[in-house]
Every structure is written in C-alpha cells, then in structure tokens.
Amino acid sequence: MKKFFGLYILAAVSILCSGAVKGASLPRAEYPRPQFERADWQNLNGRWTYIFDFSDTGFQRGYQASTGFDGSITVPFAPESELSGVGYKDYISNIWYHRTISIPQEWAGKNIRLNFGAVYYTSEVYIDGQFVGRHFGGSSSFSYDITRFVSDGKEHNLVVKASSDLRSGLQGAGKQSLQYASHACNYTRTTGIWQTVWMEPVSPAGLQNVQVITDIDQKQVIVHPWFFAETSGHTLKVTLIEGEKTVVSKTVRASNNSTVVLPVRKVRLWSPEDPFLYGLVYEVIDAEGNVVDRIDSYTGMRKVHIEGNKVYLNNQPYYQRLVLDQGFYPDGIWTAPSDEALKKDIELSMQAGFNGARLHQKVFEERYYYWADRLGYLTWGESASWGMDANDPLAARNFLAEWEECVVRDRNHPSIVTWTPMNEEFWPDDVQYPRFSEDIYTLTKQLDPTRPVNLCSGGVLTVHTDIWTAHHYEQDPAKLKDIVYNGGKMYSLMPQTYKGRIRNIGFNDVGAGTTYDWQEYDGKMPYILDEFGGIKWVKDQDRQAVNSQTVSWGYGQAPRSLEEFYARLEGMVDALLSLSGQMCGYCYTQLTDVEQEENGVYFYDRSSKFDMSRINAIFSRTPEGYANGL
C-alpha cells in the first residue's frame, strides 16, 4: 500500500481534490479533523456576511431567512480579532452570520454533514430560513445532517446565530475578560465562529466515530466503532499500517456492538523521544463489496498510568517538564492564524527545553493535537472553566455536556496524557460543588479510563483526583522549595470537610476573613507543581503593555537584569528537581506573553526574549531515576 494515510498528505492537495478551493488565500484551509479524515469535503471558511444583534430581536426581524447582511467577516476568526476584519472588542451578546452554500452534483445519494469546529457559546443554524439545530458549548465540535434541507446543485442560504452571556456565570469563559478591557491574566474575548466550518458527503451507513485504545502490554489495538446507521450485510474493515506496510487488517460486521482487536507482534511505542504513529484506515463495505465510506486516521501505541506517587509512560516513570500554554494569538485571539502557527508553538516550546504543555483554560483545536502527536509533545487537556458559577446546577449541566463532547472528540490523541476539567475553583460551604466535582470525575473516567484526571488544578479538591497539583508563585528559590517541601511533607490546597461541607475557599481569600486550611499531602499519589515561575520580563518595565487602561503584569518583583532573571529561573528549577523523590514534574508559567501579562519565555509575537540556549539548558534537565529518553 503506497499511501501511508491521508493525514500525511499535504492538506492543500486534499482540499483541491474536493473542489472546495479556488485560490490559496482561503484561511485555515487544512482539513480540520486529522484523526478522522474523509477525502471529499468542502471548506466553508472565508468571507461571510454578519450583523450584530445586541437587542436580540434578529429572529423577529427575519434574520434567520437572510440572504446576506451588510457587514463582512472572515471565518473562522472571531469578530473581536483583527484577522476577522472586524476587530470589535466590546461585549457581543448576539451575532448573525450568512453565506451561501451549494451541494456538488457528485454528492448525490449521500447524506450531507455540516460540521463546526467550535462556536462560542450558543449557536443556532438555519438553512433557507428553516431551523436546523441548536448547540450549547463554546469549545466543543458539533455536526448536523442537513440532507433534507438542501438539494444537489442548488444554492442555499446558510445562517448561523451565535449568542454569549459571558457574565451570567452559566458558561465557562476561560481567560476571556469579564471586565470591559483585558486586565491581569484575563484577555480579549472570543465570540461566535472561531474554528473551521465545513461540509462533507457521508454514506447513510457511514462511520460516525471510533474509540481507539492501545494496549501495549498485550500488544494490541482495540477499536470500538459507532455508525450513523446499521445495515445488514455491511462490514467494517480496519487496517493498521506501519510506514507503507500493512501490519494487520481485520473485517467485522458493521455494528455498534462490534469490537475490532488488532494484534501487533512488534510494537513500536510512541513517546516524546520517538513519536512514531501507525496509520489506521477504516472502510465501510456494502454487501456488493463497494467501499461506501473511508476514513484515514492514525494512532500512537503508548500507555499512561500511575503507580504510587509517579506517572508512568510506557511502563517507565516519566518526568514531565511542562509549560503553561494559553493558546492566544495577537491577531487571531483564540484562533491560530495558520496551521503552521500551531506547529510553531510546539516547536518553540521544545526548543526551550519542555517536553509538554498544560493547555490552559482553553480546549485547543484538533489540529494542535495532531502536531503534538506528530512531534512527540505531551499535553494536558483542560476546559475553559473559569467564569462559571460551579454552585449553580444549570452551569454544572452546561459544563458536563460540553466536557463530554470535548473528551470524546480528543481521547484518541496519544499526546494527551492527563485531563484537567477545572482550574482554581474555590466554592465555600455549599453541597453543589462537591456533587458537581464527583460527577465530573466519574464522567471523565467513564469516557476515558486510560488517562489520569487532575480534577481541579491548584484549587479545591472535594472528592477524587488522580494527581495532586498546586500553584505557587514564590519568586525566591529557597523559599519556594521550603513551601513545596515543608518539614518533610508536601502541601497543596485541599479542603478539610466538616459534616460533608467545605470549610474553606482557598488562597484567593487569604486575609479576607475566610476560614481556610492547608491539607497535608500524604505521598500516595503523584504530585506536580503545575503552576510556578511567571517571572515578568519586558524591555521597559514602566511601559503600557496594551493601552492606557492596562499595564504590564506578572508575578512578584521583576528582576532588574537578565542575569538576575537567569539566576532566579535556574534556582527555581533546581529547587524542584531536587525534590524529584516527591515530585514527578512541574509546569512553568508560561510559554508566551499574552497581551498585558508579560511573563512568557517568548514575546506575544513569538519572537525570542532570551538566549534560548541558556533557557533550554535550564528546562531540559530531567532528574535521576526517570527513564525519559530510554
């Protein structure tokens, strides 16, 4: 078989073959779902028309049946971004989009799927004025079968309404500012369509989804398929490919009850040191032997588990040298300006000496995980949980539904080694948050039992967590070590409970009259200081970073010289490495500056701040006793 798998062919070739591209200027032209790629598709990015609807009267004014609005916007960039061509920074409660679509004649007989990478936050879709569907959640992908709304060769009006009530407490905001302007560690907002929109023809009996589990101990790949519809006589053929060689192929009945087990005699493991990927091809075959649906995919054979107080990769203790990555861009905000920009961020991190990232308060797009898989880069998948009232049952309902979609979408990526549903949540004296936490942990484990769950990074842990994490921005290396390892015991924020209710909020309310306690870490689970550092460095400490309303910001007192910066950073990392018997990793804040927060290893435009050979020498070290690289 000469074709490894379609994912490794240039995305532009795939798009051109679909007939969707008339020029090379189409923004974000690459196939957006690289682990589930169909060859025939149509990219709907580019010029749309739009109108703001601050009074929410658009439906009364017939916007759902629009044939075009006055404004012009470039999708998939949010209207707050410069790349959208709009650049509106204030709150946007509602925005309507319009463009025309046409279904190629050669798609006749197929079901037409309309796919959205992500739309923040609530969206409604209409075709020629007819309601197609509604989706809740600003970070998860979703899809509609629009077959009954469209005709082959005919032009149709596609209208999308996006709504956001960021300050309601009912939706996760992540690092979007809840004030008018950016401030401290909160930044420009994202509203509406912010990831690729596309269409594809799919067989009515096509493959809808798969879950792939790699079992390196028993040397097998296990595939659980899910079909749009089950049809008698249809089969599913799954082929595992190494380079250009077929490793194994197996055919089973095309049923949601089927499980495909692919034995792999000579396993080549995936790791940051050798990020080898096997190709996977899924073919749905009808009773006459015709392939009615084909998906090109890939997988990495690797295992993540916990033993005692260490995290293991491929059955060896593995030290995680992570960096906090918030995934913001000066011109695209939440949306990377290009596929190459996603790849470059990972390469910059690796050049700085990190072997992975905690992806912070944002669900990154699938193309990012694709590059992490390809390049050998560990990732922690996190939600945009900040901004929600975790004591509100409706907020909990919104979060659980969206988080489920995110985990299911991304669970096949080998680069993801930990799930972090929440960050720094502190809720006093209420029974809802502990119940909510229990539900999140249980749901995540049911969807994916193969990865550890860091339930609430650096916050109140009321029920379960697989990893103990803490955040501390003490700038003196000796004091940091003493805080982390105090009298032979590790400490983090975890509530003591009294009659089943939380007694404390945490460090955000220290000095505010709130009762709080430090819970001792007992050494029975992995401990990772997953936020530290945040050393501020700018060329001019007194300059305004963004505008007259926001000033440059970082943690602690900024060093007075570059040499002082290097000494402080190296001292911090040395302190943590010396605790390798207790700690199994760290996460440094952060990869790049983000707007007014200027404590990145790189500037916001991704240019270098420092001598990167010195930075790499600090962050690339791994303590003795860990098998990194072996």
CATH number of 158's domain = 2.60.120.260
pLDDT of residue 542: 45
Asked whether residue 41 falls in the same domain as residue 140, the answer is yes
Question: Is residue 572 a part of any domain in this protein?
Answer: no
pLDDT of residue 458: 86
Split into its structural domains, the chain has a count of 3
Asked whether residue 355 falls in the same domain as residue 488, the answer is yes
Question: Is residue 566 a part of any domain in this protein?
Answer: no
Cβ burial, residue 219 (10 Å; 0-12/13-18/19+): middle
Question: Is residue 617 a part of any domain in this protein?
Answer: no
Question: Is residue 137 a part of any domain in this protein?
Answer: yes
> Residue 515: enclosing H or E segment and its boundaries?
none
CA dihedral 311, 316, 320, 325 (to 10 degrees): -80
CB of 126 closer than 8 Å to CB of 133: no
CB of 123 closer than 8 Å to CB of 135: yes
Asked whether residue 485 falls in the same domain as residue 590, the answer is yes
pLDDT of residue 519: 59
**Chosen domain end from 258, 285, 304:** 304
- The amino acid present at 582, given as its one-letter code, is Q
Asked whether residue 178 falls in the same domain as residue 221, the answer is no
Cβ-Cβ contacts under 8 Å for 120 (sequence gap 6 or more): 78, 138, 139, 162, 164, 190, 191, 192, 194, 334
Please list the ranges in the chain whose pLDDT falls under 50: 1-23, 487-488, 493-518, 542-550
- Cis check for the bond before 121: say yes or no (omega within 30 of 0): yes
**Residues facing 515 on adjacent strands:** none
Query: CATH no. for residue 262?
Result: 2.60.40.10
**Chosen domain end from 171, 202, 233:** 202
Cβ burial, residue 585 (10 Å; 0-12/13-18/19+): buried
Cβ-Cβ contacts under 8 Å for 22 (sequence gap 6 or more): none
Q: Which residue is listed with tokens 């910001």?
A: 553
CA diameter of the chain: 75
DSSP 8-state class, residue 462: -
Asked whether residue 143 falls in the same domain as residue 229, the answer is no
pLDDT of residue 506: 34
Asked whether residue 256 falls in the same domain as residue 323, the answer is no
Question: Is residue 629 a part of any domain in this protein?
Answer: no
Asked whether residue 247 falls in the same domain as residue 333, the answer is no
Asked whether residue 338 falls in the same domain as residue 299, the answer is no
**Residues facing 114 on adjacent strands:** 144, 199
Question: Is residue 474 a part of any domain in this protein?
Answer: yes
Print the domain residue range for 225.
Answer: 207-304
Asked whether residue 367 falls in the same domain as residue 422, the answer is yes
Backbone torsions φ then ψ of 229, nearest 5 degrees: -155, 145
Cβ burial, residue 628 (10 Å; 0-12/13-18/19+): middle
Cβ burial, residue 180 (10 Å; 0-12/13-18/19+): exposed
**Chosen domain end from 178, 202, 226:** 202
Asked whether residue 43 falls in the same domain as residue 69, the answer is yes
Query: CATH no. for residue 540?
Result: 3.20.20.80
Asked whether residue 396 falls in the same domain as residue 472, the answer is yes
Question: Is residue 570 a part of any domain in this protein?
Answer: no
DSSP 8-state class, residue 558: P
Q: What pTM was estimated for this model as a whole?
A: 0.92
Asked whether residue 35 falls in the same domain as residue 81, the answer is yes
Question: Is residue 571 a part of any domain in this protein?
Answer: no
pLDDT of residue 484: 85
Cα–Cα distance measured from residue 280 to residue 6, given in angstroms and rounded to the nearest whole number: 10
DSSP 98-165: EEEEEB-GGGTTSEEEEEES-EESEEEEEETTEEEEEEE-SSS-EEEE-GGG--BT-EEEEEEEEE--
